Structure 1
Amino acid sequence: MPEKNTIKQKEKNLNLPNILAAFRILLAPLMLWFMVDQSNPIFDGWHPSWFDYFAGLIFVIASVTDFFDGYIARSWNQMTKLGSILDPLADKMLVLAGFIGLLAMDRVSAFAIFLILSREFFITGLRVVAVSEGKSVASTMAGKIKTVVQMIAIGFLIMNWPYASELLWFAVFLTLYSGYEYIRDYLK
C-alpha cells in the first residue's frame, strides 16, 4: 500500500503549476548567464544590446510563468506541498539572479539590493521558525505587491529604461513594509 500512495503523490506533484515553477528555476541561471557572461566567445559578434533583450525576454517569460503557476494551482485545485516549496524558491532564484546580474552590470545600488535580500533571508528564516512552532505565516497582499514591483523594477533595470532606479527604491520600500507585516503577524 505505501508504494501506491508514493506513486499517487508523485503523480499529484507532476502537475502544470509545479512544472512551470521548475521551468522558472531553470530560467534564472540562463538569464544570469546573459547578464554576466557577455565576453564569452560564444557571443562574439553580438551587439551589446542583444544581451539586454535576451535577458529581458527570459525574465518576462519567467515572470509570466510565476503568474500562471499560481493561478492554475488555485483554479484547478492543484496546490501541493512541493508547489508551496518550488514557487517561492523559483521566485527567490529569479529575483536573486536578476539582482546579481544587475550588480555585475553596475546598473543597481548595492545598498538597495542588500536591503531587499536581507529582508528576504530574514522572512524566510522567520517562516521556518513559525512552521517549527506550528504557526502559519501566510503571504500578505503587500508581499504579493512587493514581488510584482520587484519584478517590474528588475525588468526596467535589465532594459536600462528611464525611472528604473526610482522603481527599484519603491520596491525597497514595499519590501521593507511587507517584512514589517510578516513580523507583526508572526508576533500576534
Structure 2
Amino acid sequence: MTWNLPNILTILRLLAAPGLAVMFLYFQRPYADWFALLLFVSASLTDWVDGYLARAWKQETKIGAMLDPIADKAMVIIALMVIVGFSSMSPWLVLPATVILFREVFVSGLREYLGDTAGTLKVTNLAKWKTTTQMVAIAVLFLQGIFEHYLGLSLAGLDPQVVAETLAGGGADPNGLRWKATAMEWAERAGLWLLWLAAALTLVTGMDYLRKALPFLKEVR
C-alpha cells in the first residue's frame, strides 16, 4: 500500500466511521451528539479533499479507489444506524434510511460478484451527488438531535401549561424554548427532505448500476 496523504485521509475516514457509534457509548448526550457531528463533518470533508489531492498530485492508487467508496458507505450506514436508533422510529425517517442501506448493500454485493468486471460499475457524477446529499442530510439530522436534547433539558421541571403558552408565543421565554423548538423543527424538516432526496438518488443510481451489471449476470448455457 502507498502511504500518501490521500490514502491516509481515506483510511482515517474509514476509521472514523465506527467512532460515530462509539461516541454514544462513552459520552453523555448532548456531548455525544456534538462529538459525532464534528467527527462526521470532518470525515465527510476528507471525502472531497483526498480525491482532489489524489488527482492534483497524480497519486491515484488502486487501494485508494477501493477504500474510498467503502469508507463513504461505512460512514453513511453507521451514522444512519445511530440516528435511527435514537429516533422515535418515525416512518418518515426509517423508510428512506432503509432504501439507502439496502442499495448500499446491494451494490456492494454486485461489485463483489462481478469481481474483475466490477470496473463497469464506476462511480458516476450522480452517485457522487447522492453521497453528498446523504452526508448533508445526516449532518443536519445530527444537529436536529442536538436541538431536541437541549429543548428536553430546558423543559425539565416546567409546568406543561406554561410550556404550551410559551411555545405559543405568550409571555417571557427565559429558557429559550421557542428558538430551540423552532431550530429543532426546521432541522428535522430539512434533514428529512434531504434524506428523501438522497433516497431517490440512491434508487436511481442503484438501478443504473443494475442495468450496467445485467449483461454480466446472464448465465452462460
TM-score > 0.5, shorter chain as reference: yes
State the Cα distance separating 1:107 from its structure 2 match.
6.1
Contact 1:112 1:169 (C-alpha < 8 Å) held by counterparts? yes
**Structure with bigger gyration radius:** 2
Contact 1:130 1:137 (C-alpha < 8 Å) held by counterparts? no
1:51 partner letter: A
Superimposed CA distance per residue, residues 57-91 of structure 1 (whole angstroms, 9 cap, x where no aligned partner): 10111001111111111111111111112111111
2:134 alignment partner, one of 128, 138, 150: 150
Q: Secondary structure at the match of 1:14?
A: coil
Superimposed CA distance per residue, residues 139-158 of structure 1 (whole angstroms, 9 cap, x where no aligned partner): 11111110000000110111
Q: Matches of residues 81-120 of structure 1 in structure 2 within 5 Å?
A: 81-106=62-87, 109-120=93-104
Instruction: State yes or no: 1:80 paired with 2:57.
Output: no
What CA distance in whole angstroms lies between the structure 2 residues aligned with 1:107 and 1:133?
Answer: 42
Contact 1:18 1:69 (C-alpha < 8 Å) held by counterparts? yes
Q: Matches of residues 53-72 of structure 1 in structure 2 within 5 Å?
A: 53-72=34-53
1:54 partner letter: F
1:25 alignment partner, one of 10, 14, 18: 14
What CA distance in whole angstroms lies between the structure 2 residues aligned with 1:51 and 1:110?
Answer: 22
Q: What RMSD in Å do the two structures reach over aligned CA positions? A: 1.9
Instruction: State yes or no: 1:171 paired with 2:198.
Output: yes
Q: Secondary structure at the match of 1:136?
A: helix
2:206 partner letter: G
Instruction: State yes or no: 1:180 paired with 2:207.
Output: yes
What CA distance in whole angstroms lies between the structure 2 residues aligned with 1:51 and 1:124?
Answer: 30
Q: What TM-score results when the alignment is normalised by the length of structure 2?
A: 0.70
Change (3 A) 1:83 1:134: closer
> Identity rate of aligned residues, in percent?
39
State the Cα distance separating 1:94 from its structure 2 match.
0.8
Q: What TM-score results when the alignment is normalised by the length of structure 1?
A: 0.82
The answer for the alignment partner of 1:3 in structure 2 is none
Instruction: State how many pairs are aligned.
Output: 169
Contact 1:21 1:86 (C-alpha < 8 Å) held by counterparts? yes
